[in-house]
Amino acid sequence: IVRIDGRATFATNCKIMMMKNPKYILIAAITFIIIFLMNYIGNDSPDKLSRALLTAFSAVIGLGIGMWIYSKRDQNDERNNFD
């Protein structure tokens, strides 16, 4: 955990975790494109561009949070070390 003035920051920790792995950027870009196209093509409302962008950005942010939780869970996993 990165500590600034004795306090751990969530944003700094996520930023460092995501920047360490270039595969995350590729997965995030693919996720953004797929979700954006699904919402843009399948929507008939007049504000379909803003809705598609908002949904795609939300999906990438959710993916980042999920990957951060998953990586923290794997680091603290004691159940697989039974030998």
Per-residue model confidence as pLDDT tens digits over 27-49? 899 999 999 999 999 989 999 99
Nearest Cα residue to 58 out of 21, 40, 31, 24: 31
Q: Is the pLDDT of residue 51 over 90?
A: yes
Looking at residue 64, its pLDDT comes to 87
Give the span between the Cα atoms of 35 and 39, in whole angstroms: 6
Please check the confidence at residue 72 and state whether its pLDDT lies above 60.
yes
CA 58 to chain centre: 9
Beta strand extents in 1-83 (DSSP E only):
3-4, 7-8
Nearest to 40 by CA among 29, 56, 62, 27: 56
Reported pTM = 0.65
Mean pLDDT of the chain: 78
Residue given tokens 């693919």 in the structure block? 30
